[in-house]
Amino acid sequence: MNHEGNFLKGLVWAVPLSITLWISMIGWVELILRFICENK
């Protein structure tokens, strides 16, 4: 088992996952901020 191959595979999987996670997190923050602003 070569560790470099596994590391590259992990990177290929982790990068899109983290990007989608970040986008959804930012979307949630925007929704919450909009909700707070409307209820003031």
Higher pLDDT, 8 or 2: 8
Task: Decide: pTM greater than 0.85.
Answer: no
Residue pLDDT, tens place only, 12-29? 999 999 999 999 999 999
What mean pLDDT do residues 36-40 have?
90
Can you tell me whether residue 15 is helix, strand or coil?
A: helix
Q: What are phi and psi of 28, to 5 degrees?
A: -65, -45
- Tell the residue number behind the tokens 């209820």, with chain if given: 39
> How far apart are the C-alpha atoms of 26 and 19, rounded to whole Å?
11
Who has greater pLDDT, 40 or 9?
Answer: 9
